[in-house]
Structure 1
Amino acid sequence: MSVLVTGAAGFIGYHTAARLLARGETVIGLDNLNDYYSVQLKRDRIADLEARHHNGFTFLHTDFADFEALKQALAPHRITGIVHLGAQAGVRYSIDNPHAYVQSNLVGHLNVMEIARHADTVDHLVYASSSSVYGANPLGDGGFAVEDRVDQPISLYAATKKADELMSETYAHLYRLPQTGLRFFTVYGPWGRPDMAMWLFTKAILAGAPISVFNNGDMRRDFTFIDDIVTGVVACLDNPPPDDGQTKAGGSLSPHRVYNIGNHRSEELMHMIDVLEQTIGIKAIRNLQPMQPGDVKETYADVSAISRDLGFAPTTPIEAGIPRFVEWYRRYHGV
């Protein structure tokens, strides 16, 4: 019996697979190794998993948006749980490349649910949603809450993630397939993504190049360290939503839930840059820019639901997490 982790060559997928392997699980890691960002980085993540956990890890180079290829690749394996983290990421990239999001995030999500519902061994499907679904919602005192309306996305990426939640609700209702969706906020840490601010800023500062600071720096983000995120992901996998078959007014009580997963701390972008400068020991050249299309000014996760249900409690402030990222970045690049 195995746990399937899609997007295993990705940032969160790599760390989730590593955590599951470390506790003795057998993991099937699946990824198509697309070139949205460095394929070599993705290969290095897989190589690290294979080197450290060679007995328990199997990698499948497969595109989950190709249903026949997905079925064929998974046919030899018996899967008890799925952590579906593979997706086409990035808000800004979706402006110019919409078809990539429909194929990966919509068709791919459907394919993974189809695999789960036809495999009588799958107990739970955990999948990645995004804080982008909140769009331009006004921020409440406690942050964005899962009960907030999210029917006005301001990027196609966000629209596909909300559509994934709706499809999952339908499959949970029709086929009683337990599912948990996780609205990730801004995640950072070792083995992170080269398209995200932490990596981009670190690379530029070390090279003496300017950094692009959008909305003239008037932005806030709920920066969450990767170890805290993975703790929440694994807790979700271990605790599928109950299905008692009862109904509630207006419809079925489906075995499907959605959580925010973040740090519950909204940091000023300029403060993040300050901490990064202090860690690296070099002042950044700050190139102030206007807001980018599809972007939002502030994110802040209300994590009360996942804290109440699963005891999720992030413990890593950026003052502790950023030095760990920079240390890894220097080591990985030989800086």
Structure 2
Amino acid sequence: MDTATHISMGVAIGGIATLDPAVQQDPQLFQAVLIGAIVGSHAPDFDTFFKFKNNATYIRHHRGSSHSPVAVLLWSLLVTFAIYAFYIEIPWLNLWGWVLLSVVLHVIVDIFNAYGTQALKPFLDKWIALGWINTFDPYIFGLFVAGAIAWLLGAEPGVTYLIVFFVVFLYYIKRFFDKKEITDILQKHFPDAVKIITQPTIRHNSWRVVIETPYYYYVAYSTDGHIDIKDTFENNKLPETAEMNAAFHDENVKSFINFSPIFRYEIDRFDDYVEIRFIDLRYRYKGHYPFVAVVTLDKFYNTLTSYTGWVYSEEKLQKKLEPLS
């Protein structure tokens, strides 16, 4: 989910914590729990700092190890003891329990969007991305904002947010059936589909979808159950060649392939170098596919330059590869 929704969920956890008798009786514990829940609800996304190193590191690790069970425990303890240092007389175990809940909730809700997480790492390296909920869902965010407003107006926060969470739970169930309806329709249209990836948009009844069949990729939009195919690409299997093997050893390409569940590739050969481009098919934007990995190799298959990330024009992409010019 987006940062604003994560933080609003942290406020909600702080509200529900008022049902804890220990929190009810201790204003300092309440303050610490509220702060801890807000910080804990965002803590796994502190891995955003990887972006300061380079895109490959960020793409490989964002929502990866930082969202694993071990990291969840470490984040909760780190946040708890950082706050406990300022509230030394409160029962730290109560604080830790609510902080842990907020961190766990962060990871759980991230599983339901198209980006997903490696929430089972190191037991399973696979990205878990269910594709039911948009990264920013205005309905979910609106419900938590409504709960906060009700709290400010004097409503009992524990009961208020229990109701909010119950409504959000029902909404998740509805979105599960929304996705199932879309995938059932697509399965009928493409009976030989081996993979169907859904990506909800901010519009409730509009979805981005990618269908992989043995011979083609289809990139489409689904609106109110109607399928509009935007692009069709041949499903060319990755060749086992020296140049492709060299590309796979590049850190940018490895990060891209580790993250992307469905992509195609292009190979362009020039006089002095070969360019291999990997294109994620999930993120079509105005006819362009902005999430890519590109590597250029000399005639001995040494990497000249490479890049991975989001680029919204060919001109900007070529600037990322300027060492060739």
Per the normalisation by structure 1, the TM-score is 0.25
Which structure: larger Rg? 2
Which structure carries more relative contact order (alpha carbon 8 Å, separation 6+)? 1
The two structures have a TM-score, normalised by structure 2, of 0.25
The structure that is helix-richer by fraction is: 2
